[in-house]
Amino acid sequence: MKLSKASIIPALFALVAFHSPDAGAAQTSASSYMPNSHGKSITTPVAWGASNNVVFTGAGGTTPSPYSNKADGAAVLGVGLGDPKNNIGIQASVISIDVSEWKEYATALHLFRDLGNADAIGVGVENVMLTDGGDSGKSFYVVYSRGLQYNSIRNSTVSLTKLHYSIGAGTGRFGDKSPDDIASGKGKHGTYVFGNLAYEIADSYNIITDWNGINLNAGVSKSFAIGNVPFALTAGVADLTRNSGDGVRFVFAGGFGFKL
């Protein structure tokens, strides 16, 4: 199950990575509302990341994969280091891009800084191959994320904001279409600009939409804890327009993290 630029590796970080304030940015003032802990995107980066010795792992998939009737899957193991409030947070991950054989691996690196008041900025690189195989090149990006600071959109129970957005730009998968897309007459390039929007519904989960530079996606994400271990589940639909792929597909992922 080899993965393409439009397949599950991009989604896996967005769906599984623990980019919540619990794992990354810290509250900087009594009057600010930090982001909630649910996922904020389907296929696009956010600036928040894991830090402060947080280890996370997860797996996800898509069905069907683009231009195929088969499912695709991947798994990730990562660690968050550093202090994004006072210095820099560092999130490093290793990904198995073929869970059927466990022979192909890639890595990713995300550096981010908490700017205060639920603002953060990050830079990163995805899909750096560690083994032979794989059919996607490296993608670099920069992203800014914010949790909006208005009393009308905060969760009064826990003083967290309900509305979040990110905007960024990148290379590779954020604008280069796959050979199948090009052969299908969908053009060679997208916008290289991406963004996401997430809003908490009924104090329970986020509804999410994102534009990954090539296509529109939507879904929901829920986080919860068993004891002191946080879990995250996200499910969505990808390729909602005809800009890429051969139809709408289902994407999903789950994972958990813990602090060393």
144 pLDDT above the threshold of 90: yes
Give the pair of three-digit tokens for residue 184.
Answer: 């299908």
pLDDT in tens, 230-259: 888 999 999 999 999 999 999 988 888 888
143 pLDDT above the threshold of 70: yes
| pLDDT in the model for residue 31 | 63
113 pLDDT above the threshold of 50: yes
Give the pair of three-digit tokens for residue 142.
Answer: 């920069």
pTM to 2 decimals?
A: 0.90
Domains of the chain, each with CATH number or no CATH: 8-259 (2.40.160.40)
Higher pLDDT, residue 64 or 25 = 64
| Number of CB atoms found within 10 A of residue 133's CB | 15
48 pLDDT above the threshold of 60: yes
Task: Give the pLDDT band of residue 136 (cuts 50, 70, 90).
Answer: low
| pLDDT in the model for residue 8 | 46
User: Mean pLDDT, the chain, as a whole number?
Assistant: 85
Q: Which residues of 140-170 are buried (b: 16+ CB within 10 A; e: fewer)?
A: ebebbbbbbbeeeebeeeeebbbbbbbbbbb
Give the chain's radius of gyration (CA, Å): 17
Residue of 105, 48, 42, 46 lying closest to 252 (CA atoms): 42
| pLDDT in the model for residue 134 | 64
| pLDDT in the model for residue 100 | 75
Higher pLDDT, residue 10 or 207 = 207
